[in-house]
Structure 1
Amino acid sequence: MRSINALEVVNSARLNKFHYLLVFWCSFIMMFDGYDLVIYGSVLPHLMTAWALTPGEAGMLGASSMVGMMFGAVTLGTQADRFGRRRIILFCVALFSLAALSNAFATDATSFALCRFLTGAGLGGVVPNLVTILKEMSPGSCRNRLINLMLSFFAIGGLLSGLAGIYLIPHLGWHSPFYVAGLSFLSLPLLYKTLPESVAYLLHRNRQEEVARMLRRINPDHNPTGAVTYVLESAADAGAGKTSLSALFGNGRGFSTLMLWLSFGMCMLMVYGLNTWLPKLMSSGGYPLGSSIVFLVVMNVGSLIGTLISGVLADRWGCKATLALFFALAAVSISMLGIKPDATTLYALLLIAGGSTVGCLSVVHTLAADLYPSRVRSTGVSMAAAIGRCGAVAGPLLGGFLFSLSLPFEHNFLVFALPGVIAVIAVLLISQKPVALPLAQHRPTEGV
């Protein structure tokens, strides 16, 4: 019986309606990820007034969703290698949709924090698996661009949350944006019907008939004759062994895994720290509160542009070079926000800061997916995201701490820029070249 490498079939496919539908659903979910997380920055000034919160308490509330994301990435995201990408994605969408809606009915800081934690848990489990399923189902020629297109919808969600803060909160109160957040739950029936399972997962479970049907949808030009067996073969996959955390440090990946985690953490510290505290920090610098929320919207417009650009650059230059450039731009642009520039320069810096930070967040997910073999890919991406959430937790807490210190305006932004410098160094130290496996572990596979 002839063996066919399923990865080669996927890589050689041309974009078709299967890929468009998959990208649509992943992007739709990512949009709500951005909306649900960034909305806290819009409601924060109102919550601090309504519940008389101190800056430290406000920072703890902001950090609750990040702790939830870390918890979700570890407990839910890593289980996709065991239960399948599709099941985990569906469960996580249901969880974060209901939890975000429940925020609208919170009556105090404790109930609000619990809802934010559960929202974060759902988001933390779903995002790594969106990256993984696109990584495993996209044509090789445009994989990075599709992943970054999907991740760019985080910025669209953030933009929508800023608009909700501007137009809904003044008329309907701070609760109103969370009603919008619950709309993602309505997508579950269609998502259940149309979201496919990953070919890599099906192959690891040796579900050959389902693999054959899925490959015909992915690549209609693939029409093998005679009896065939599909395999998932590469040097890295062949030696991957069992799905475990130890596999993330095997085959010469240990130091690179640590540097990946560090770069993830620094990236998330900048993204979530700024999205949580930018309106309040700008307001403390003398800008009107309405204008400060507009600044958040501008930054998320930059996030959208930067994410799309970073995807194109990652396909041309590679993930490492793109990340090094974008982290450097983030450090420079954020530090310059503290000099109170003129309006034109300020908006330009906000665009660059948003584009470079969230652009990094997109590419660092792709780098994580590239670093690990398919057998442990969901575990690898989920663990990187989970450890990175330490930075996401630190961001809101750091903003609250800085605000309580009443530092000079420009010092706050210098502190938020420092992670960008650390991340540049970490990214440059990552190696994507696994240690060569013994020849005995390589088994020849026939092509199509």
Structure 2
Amino acid sequence: MRSINATEVVNSARLNRFHYLLVFWCSFIMMFDGYDLVIYGSVLPHVMSQWSLTPGEAGMLGASSMVGMMCGAVTLGTLADRLGRRRIILFCVALFSVAALANAFATGPTSFATCRFLTGAGLGGVVPNLVTLLKEMSPGSCRNRLINLMLSFFAVGGLLSGLAGIYLIPAFGWQSPFYIAGVSLLALPLLYKTLPESVAYLLHRDHQGEVAGVLRRINPQHLPAGEVKYVRAPDELGAAGHTSMGALFGDGRALSTLMLWLGFGMCMLMVYGLNTWLPKLMTQGGYPLGSSIVFLVVMNLGSIIGTLISGVCADRWGCKATLVVFFALAGVSISMLGLRPDASLLYGLLLVAGGTTVGCLSVVHTLAADLYPTHVRATGVSMAAAIGRCGAVAGPLLGGLLMSLGLAFEHNFMVFALPAVVAVFAVLLVARQPARQILSVPSL
């Protein structure tokens, strides 16, 4: 019986209908991730007014979804290495869809915070597994670009949430955007029917029949003769005695793991802090509420462009160099927002700020997936996302603190730019991983 390296089969595949469908579903889910999280920034002024919330209370309410994401990434995200990517993704989609829809029926801050926490838990569990699934099923020649294309739909969702805030809330009330959030529930039957399990997980469980079936869909040109057994490359096998968590710090990865977590956290602080508080900060600066929500839309439009550009840059320059450049641009553009520039420069800075912060968020996911071997990849990406959620929790809280302190308009944006400086140094300390050579497996 011949042994065939399944990784080689995946890497040598050409893009086909299987990959397009996989990217479509991952992007669809990612779009609702962006929509469900960013929508709070649009409803925030209305919720604060209706329930007479202080800035600190509003910040705590915004942080509830981020705490949920952190819990979801630690629990649901890491379970995928044992239960499978597909099962966890389906469960998480059901969870965040129902919870987001339930937000429309919240009667006060407590029920609203509970629904936001559960929404965040589902989103926190699903995103690392989308990245892992796409990385393990994509051809090697375009893997980073496909992952970044998928992650760019976070910004598409954010853009749609801003449009919902502009057009739906004045006509139907702040609850109306949450009805749209429940639409993702309708996709579950199709997801159940078409979403595949990852080859890496199936190999880990030695489900040879299912592996062969999935590989035929991934690479129709792969037509082995005779009886074969699919195996993993030697560098993808788990080290003896290493637990999943222990492997994150083994083989000289301790400093890189810690710095990855720090960079992840700083990135999320900027993304979720600005998406939560930008309309309110701009309103405080003298801009009308309608224009302030438009600024949120422009920033998320920049996020779409920036994420696509960052994917191309990561393929050409590598993840580290791309992150350093993008974090530096993020710090400069965010700090300049506080200078009250004229309209054209303001919109330009918002495009750059959105493009670089969310562009960094997509590339840092890819860096995390590159840092760890297959047998702990879902755990590694999920833990990076989970620890990074500390920054996502801090973002809304930081905005509430700044509003309470009553700082000068320009100082608010200088504070939001500081995490970009920290992130530059953190990324520089992540060790460059040697390119893994895919070894051919001899016939048995």
TM exceeding 0.5 = yes
Q: Structure 1 109/261 Cα, relative in aligned 2: closer, same or farther at 3 Å?
A: same
Aligned-partner residue type, residue 317 of structure 1: W
SS of match in other structure, 1:136? helix
CA-to-partner distance for each residue in 1:306-346, whole Å, 9 max, x for gaps? 00000011111111111111000100000000000000000
Q: CA RMSD in A?
A: 1.4
User: Which position in structure 2 is the counterpart of 1:201?
Assistant: 201
Aligned-partner residue type, residue 173 of structure 2: G
User: Which position in structure 1 is the counterpart of 2:115?
Assistant: 115
Question: Is 2:5–2:231's contact at 8 Å kept on the other side of the alignment?
Answer: yes
| Counterpart Cα distance in 2 of 1:341 and 1:227 | 68
| Counterpart Cα distance in 1 of 2:187 and 2:442 | 41
CA-to-partner distance for each residue in 1:230-269, whole Å, 9 max, x for gaps? 1111325353765521110011111100000000000000
Is 1:210 the counterpart of 2:210 in the alignment?
Answer: yes
Aligned-partner residue type, residue 341 of structure 1: P
Question: How is 1:9-408 mapped onto 2 (pairs within 5 angstroms)?
Answer: 9-237=9-237, 239=239, 243-408=243-408
User: Which position in structure 2 is the counterpart of 1:424?
Assistant: 424
| Counterpart Cα distance in 2 of 1:243 and 1:37 | 33
Aligned-partner residue type, residue 441 of structure 2: T
User: Which position in structure 2 is the counterpart of 1:439?
Assistant: none
Is 1:446 the counterpart of 2:423 in the alignment?
Answer: no
| Counterpart Cα distance in 1 of 2:337 and 2:252 | 40
| Counterpart Cα distance in 2 of 1:27 and 1:13 | 21
Q: Structure 1 412/18 Cα, relative in aligned 2: closer, same or farther at 3 Å?
A: same
Give the number of equivalent residue pairs.
Answer: 442
Question: Is 1:102–1:115's contact at 8 Å kept on the other side of the alignment?
Answer: yes
Aligned-partner residue type, residue 383 of structure 1: M
Q: Structure 1 133/396 Cα, relative in aligned 2: closer, same or farther at 3 Å?
A: same
Q: Structure 1 194/435 Cα, relative in aligned 2: closer, same or farther at 3 Å?
A: closer
Query: What percentage of residue pairs aligned between the two structures are identical?
Result: 81
SS of match in other structure, 1:251? coil
Q: Structure 1 280/293 Cα, relative in aligned 2: closer, same or farther at 3 Å?
A: same
Q: Structure 1 135/283 Cα, relative in aligned 2: closer, same or farther at 3 Å?
A: same
Question: Is 2:85–2:133's contact at 8 Å kept on the other side of the alignment?
Answer: yes
| Counterpart Cα distance in 2 of 1:203 and 1:242 | 19
SS of match in other structure, 1:225? coil
Aligned-partner residue type, residue 154 of structure 1: F
| Counterpart Cα distance in 1 of 2:441 and 2:306 | 40
Question: Is 1:271–1:358's contact at 8 Å kept on the other side of the alignment?
Answer: yes
| Counterpart Cα distance in 1 of 2:435 and 2:15 | 33
| Counterpart Cα distance in 2 of 1:238 and 1:95 | 31
* Displacement after TM superposition at 1:2 (Å): 1.3
CA-to-partner distance for each residue in 1:203-234, whole Å, 9 max, x for gaps? 00000111011111000010111221111113
| Counterpart Cα distance in 1 of 2:336 and 2:433 | 37
| Counterpart Cα distance in 1 of 2:241 and 2:11 | 23
Question: Is 1:253–1:434's contact at 8 Å kept on the other side of the alignment?
Answer: no
Aligned-partner residue type, residue 269 of structure 2: L
SS of match in other structure, 2:53? coil
| Counterpart Cα distance in 1 of 2:237 and 2:319 | 21
* Displacement after TM superposition at 1:64 (Å): 0.2
* Displacement after TM superposition at 1:193 (Å): 0.2
| Counterpart Cα distance in 1 of 2:323 and 2:232 | 29
Question: Is 1:273–1:392's contact at 8 Å kept on the other side of the alignment?
Answer: yes
Question: Is 1:252–1:434's contact at 8 Å kept on the other side of the alignment?
Answer: no
* Displacement after TM superposition at 1:444 (Å): 6.3
SS of match in other structure, 1:168? helix
Gaps of 5+ in 1: 437-441
Q: Structure 1 444/308 Cα, relative in aligned 2: closer, same or farther at 3 Å?
A: closer
| Counterpart Cα distance in 2 of 1:65 and 1:346 | 29
SS of match in other structure, 2:266? helix
Aligned-partner residue type, residue 344 of structure 1: S
Question: Is 1:152–1:308's contact at 8 Å kept on the other side of the alignment?
Answer: yes
* Displacement after TM superposition at 1:49 (Å): 0.4
Question: Is 2:267–2:360's contact at 8 Å kept on the other side of the alignment?
Answer: yes
Q: Structure 1 339/247 Cα, relative in aligned 2: closer, same or farther at 3 Å?
A: same
Aligned-partner residue type, residue 419 of structure 1: P
Question: Is 2:5–2:440's contact at 8 Å kept on the other side of the alignment?
Answer: no
SS of match in other structure, 1:3? strand
| Counterpart Cα distance in 2 of 1:297 and 1:232 | 44
Question: Is 1:279–1:292's contact at 8 Å kept on the other side of the alignment?
Answer: yes
| Counterpart Cα distance in 2 of 1:104 and 1:376 | 38
* Displacement after TM superposition at 1:432 (Å): 3.3
Aligned-partner residue type, residue 237 of structure 1: L
More displaced 10-residue stretch of structure 1: 224-233 or 125-134? 224-233
Question: Is 1:63–1:394's contact at 8 Å kept on the other side of the alignment?
Answer: yes
Aligned-partner residue type, residue 235 of structure 1: D
SS of match in other structure, 2:4? strand
Question: Is 2:238–2:375's contact at 8 Å kept on the other side of the alignment?
Answer: no
The two structures have a TM-score, normalised by structure 2, of 0.98
* Displacement after TM superposition at 1:63 (Å): 0.2
Aligned-partner residue type, residue 373 of structure 2: P
| Counterpart Cα distance in 2 of 1:342 and 1:206 | 61
| Counterpart Cα distance in 2 of 1:423 and 1:92 | 29
